[in-house]
Each structure stands twice: as C-alpha cells, then as structure tokens.
Amino acid sequence: MLVLVLDSSTPAVTAALAEITAHAVAPRGERSVVDARAHGELLAPQVSEVLAEAGARPADLAAVVAGVGPGPFTGLRVGLVTAASMGQVLGIPTYGVPSLDAIGHAATHPRSGAAPEAGPVLAATDARRREIYWAVYDLAGERLAGPEVDTPAAVAERARELGVRVAVGEGARRYADILELPLRAGLDYPPPYALAELAAERVRAGAPGDQLTPLYLRRPDAVAAAGRKPVLQ
C-alpha cells in the first residue's frame, strides 16, 4: 500500500512516499528541504515530485500519514491542511503521528544496523522563543514523558529525573550546552519512514482515519480587550 508521508513541524519541510507491506515499510522516495520560512511554497511541489519520481498518481495513494507536531504553528498547519485536503479529495484515511515520536522511534530503532541507544532518549525540536518541544522515550521507543514545551533548563532537569542518557533532534543540538547530554548526530528532524512505521499497523488494518489535530502546546497570544483609554485628558 502506497502512503504519502508529510511533516512540517520543524524547519525541515518533508514529503515522502512509503510502501507498506504486511511486514515492512519500504522507502519509495523523499524530498526534504530545510527552510523555516517557506513551508507553504515548498511542500506541494515536493509532493508532486515524489509522486512523479515513483511513477505514481495521487489516486494510487492508500493513506496519508502526517506529523502532527508539536511545532511552530504556521508551518505545522501547512502539512496538516495539505494532508487533510488530499485525503478528502481521494477519499482515503489520514493518520496523525506526533512528530517527536518519529525522532524517538528512529533513535531507538535505527535502520542502518547501528546499535540502539543505551538508555532513555530525549527528543527535542526548536520551539523558538528560547524554548524547545520535547519528549522522552524508553529503549522500545515508548514515550515516557511529553510532548511538552519548556525552557532548555527545565528540560535538562526533567531529563535528569528520567535518567536520559542521550539527546536527539535539532532542539537538543541547539541547546546542547544547557542540556549537558551526549548528543546523537544525524537525527535533527522527524524521519518520514519512522512516521510511516508508527502508522503502519493502522494503515494495514484499514483503521478509521484521524482528524488531524495539531499539537500546539501553546495558547494563542492574545489578551482580552481591556478598558478603553480616554481621549480627553
């Protein structure tokens, strides 16, 4: 079953195709460009390109898998509305996967045959405003804490409490000096095949699709209107 995988929760704007069979998830092409300010421009052409490269048409898709964040709001919505609109036209299910789970899953289930990590893993991405989105995973890739948004200092403390041994993700890299954890390189952003693997059981089972709800973790910046200032002095 051919699935489209989208993630726009980080500066990496990602579209990929994966073939989900009874026992495996096989890559069928990927486009990922790191540009924090161009999610809206980049994503749709990338979808078009991966389809063309695979010799596939939209109607060949069996499902859309989307990273639901957490991530900066404006970019995150691009991926989710693209997934939702394509799913609606094609009459296929859309499955949401927390984007940090994909980083945690990839760290604990390396594809390359590299040894998995030795203890709980902190996955973190940049939340701007000097904060990070984070979650902690055990060696099986199960989430132990998060996703939440906090200052790097607060995350460092939680990570110590949870016995975290290694950190992954661009948020961990950016604040490595504060987190004081060994950093695993090469896993800055949610890998699309990890997203596909995390949705694979639902795809195979033909489970009902999700309404793709973003993990915003922050409320909109807005304050209720206060009293009006008088004009007369």
- Least distance to other proteins from the beta carbon of 173, Å? 27
Q: Is 114 exposed, middle or buried (0-12, 13-18, 19+ CB in 10 A)?
A: exposed
- The backbone torsions φ and ψ at residue 15, rounded to the nearest 5 degrees and listed phi first, read -130, 135
Query: The tokens of 84 are what?
Result: 């939702």
**Shortest approach of other proteins to residue 166 CB, angstroms?**
34
Supply the minimum distance, in Å, between the C-beta of residue 28 and other proteins: 17
Candidates 24, 44, 118, 207: give the one binding other proteins (CB under 8 A): 44
Per CB under 8 A, 206 contacts other proteins:
no
Contacting range for other proteins; rule: CB under 8 A; set: 22-30, 82-90, 109-117, 144-152: 82-90
Of 21 and 85, nearer to other proteins (C-beta) is 85
**Residue 29 interacts with other proteins (CB under 8 A)?**
no
SS3 10: coil
How far is 51 from 49, CA to CA, in rounded Å? 5
Diameter of the chain measured on Cα atoms? 76
Least distance to other proteins from the beta carbon of 198, Å?
22
Nearer to other proteins, 42 or 107 (CB): 42
Q: Does 48 bind other proteins (CB under 8 A)?
A: yes
Q: Is the peptide bond preceding residue 72 cis, with omega within 30 degrees of 0?
A: no
Q: Which is nearer to other proteins, 37 or 130 (CB)?
A: 37
35 binds other proteins (CB under 8 A): no
Burial 170-188 (b: 16+ CB within 10 A, else e): bbbbbbeebbebeebeebb
Q: How far is CA 107 from the centre of its chain?
A: 14
Give the integer Cα–Cα distance in Å for 151 and 155.
Answer: 6
Number of residues that bind other proteins (CB under 8 A): 37
Residues that bind other proteins (CB under 8 A): 39-45, 47-48, 57-58, 73-74, 77-78, 80-86, 88-90, 214, 216, 220-225, 228, 230-232
